[in-house]
């Protein structure tokens, strides 16, 4: 992404396309996934946004250290959180290494509710408790008035946060240029869909698979509905569980959606 003098593009990399257990699940449980297909090896859901030499991570799950080393992430300029479920946040302690190396607190972004919940479980990251355990992250909470509007992370790079239903809680989806990242969710309210008009790439939680009763995650029937409403040029399925074999879901995917895999790289046009 270096040949971009105007800073109009960014790179979006799927760090992890797995559900809450990853694939294989602990105990080397591959479920219905073919162990001989490298794209079935999935770490927990996370993504990396690369812009103008900077790195922004979306969620820090239990596999964050492994993901960071795999992508040689020697510097992090911020973390954007979708919601406080352990498979998206429990790797937050690893940010201490970046704080010590960079000599500055790491900015973290999310709704007040999400950051408050993370802080209640990982308070030592948000405040200094002794000279040996200094504060690591700086809290940047979206106010209600920030939702569905451009929020500038750094000059030239904005995200638009929007609410999604995820079982009993609300999670935060993000539009970044012409790409929308929608994990975890079972349903996107109409008010939120308004800000997704004109997207080119829809990355979507699909752990609900073929289960009509899924209350936590979107199923394929709902993803098809979203595609019909939003008409994205490409749809990428993520949050893939052990019963979702790569080649199998590639054939079953609604409207030629493609399954994500760890390391999948996508381009973002930021002028949208
Ligand atoms: Zn979740």
pLDDT tens, residue by residue, 147-161: 999 999 999 999 999
Mean per-residue pLDDT, 7-31: 96
Mean per-residue pLDDT, 128-145: 94
Distance between Cα 85 and ligand 1 center (Å): 5
Q: What's the DSSP call for residue 177?
A: T
- Contact assessment for residue 128 and residue 159, using Cβ atoms and an 8 Å cutoff: no
Distance between Cα 185 and ligand 1 center (Å): 7
Across the chain, what does the average pLDDT equal? Answer: 96
Distance between Cα 101 and ligand 1 center (Å): 30
Distance between Cα 6 and ligand 1 center (Å): 36
Q: What pLDDT was estimated at residue 1? A: 44
Per-residue pLDDT for 134 more than 50?
yes
Alpha helices in the chain (DSSP H): 64-70, 86-89, 95-102, 112-121, 190-193, 220-230, 246-252
User: Using CA atoms, how far apart are residues 140 and 56, in angstroms rounded to an integer?
Assistant: 14
Distance between Cα 184 and ligand 1 center (Å): 5
Per-residue pLDDT for 141 more than 80?
yes
Q: What is the pTM of this model?
A: 0.96
pLDDT tens, residue by residue, 78-130: 999 999 999 999 999 999 999 999 999 999 999 999 999 999 999 999 999 98
Q: Could you give the domains of the chain?
A: 9-26+38-267 (3.60.15.10)
Distance between Cα 153 and ligand 1 center (Å): 24
Q: Two tokens at 49?
A: 């946004």
Distance between Cα 166 and ligand 1 center (Å): 7
- 3 φ, ψ (degrees, to nearest 5): -80, 70
Distance between Cα 50 and ligand 1 center (Å): 24
Distance between Cα 102 and ligand 1 center (Å): 30
């Amino acid at each position: 992404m270096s040949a971009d003098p105007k800073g109009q593009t960014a790179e979006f990399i799927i760090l992890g396309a797995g559900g809450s257990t990853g694939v294989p699940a602990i105990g080397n449980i591959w479920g219905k996934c073919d162990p001989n297909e490298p794209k079935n090896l999935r770490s927990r859901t996370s993504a990396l946004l690369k812009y103008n030499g900077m790195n922004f991570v979306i969620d820090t799950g239990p596999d964050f250290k492994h993901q960071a080393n795999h992508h040689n992430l020697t510097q992090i300029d911020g973390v954007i959180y979708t919601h406080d479920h352990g498979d998206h946040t429990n790797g937050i302690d690893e940010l201490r290494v970046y704080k010590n190396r960079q000599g500055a607190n790491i900015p973290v972004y999310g709704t007040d509710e999400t950051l408050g919940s993370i802080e209640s479980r990982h308070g030592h990251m948000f405040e200094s408790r002794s000279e040996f355990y200094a504060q690591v992250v700086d809290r940047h909470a979206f106010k209600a008035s920030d939702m569905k509007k451009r929020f500038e992370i750094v000059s030239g790079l904005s995200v638009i946060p929007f609410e999604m239903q995820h079982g009993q809680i609300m999670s935060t989806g993000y539009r970044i240029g012409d790409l929308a990242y929608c994990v975890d969710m079972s349903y996107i309210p109409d008010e939120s869909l308004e800000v997704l008009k004109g997207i080119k790439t829809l990355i979507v939680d699909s752990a609900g698979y073929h289960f009509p009763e899924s209350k936590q995650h979107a199923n394929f029937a709902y993803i098809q509905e979203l595609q019909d409403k939003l008409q994205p040029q490409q749809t990428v399925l993520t949050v893939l569980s052990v019963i979702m074999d790569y080649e199998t879901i590639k054939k079953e995917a609604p409207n030629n959606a493609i399954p994500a895999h760890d390391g999948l790289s996508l381009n973002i046009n930021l002028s949208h």
